[in-house]
Amino acid sequence: MGQEAIKLELIHWLSNLTDEETLQNLKIVKDSKDSIEVNTKNLTDSMNRASSDIDTGKVSNHEDIAKRYGL
């Protein structure tokens, strides 16, 4: 069964679904997937910024920071 057929089958099933608990559980799954996608994008963006900072020398090593703050 192709993706489009599966989507249509699910749409039909959802449109006829009356069980509140199942609907709420499906909403939780959908929301958590959205959250994972956002968090993955944020993590990727952070890693790209860190890589850029390293490439441009905008970082300090641990020893320099410890000296600067008297640690």
Q: What is the pLDDT of residues 53-62, one digit of tens each?
A: 989 988 888 9
| Amino acid 46: pLDDT | 92
How many whole angstroms separate alpha carbon 47 and alpha carbon 30? 26
pLDDT of residue 5: 95
Euclidean distance between CA atoms 44 and 50, whole angstroms: 10
Percent of the chain with pLDDT over 70: 100
Domain boundary assignment for the chain: 19-68
Residue 18: pLDDT band (50, 70, 90) is: very high
Return the ∠ at Cα 38 (arms to 11 and 49), rounded to 5°: 150
> Average pLDDT in the 33-43 region?
84
Q: What are the distances in angstroms from CA 68 to CA 18, 60, 61, 63, 64? A: 63, 10, 11, 9, 6
pLDDT at 34 > cutoff 80: no
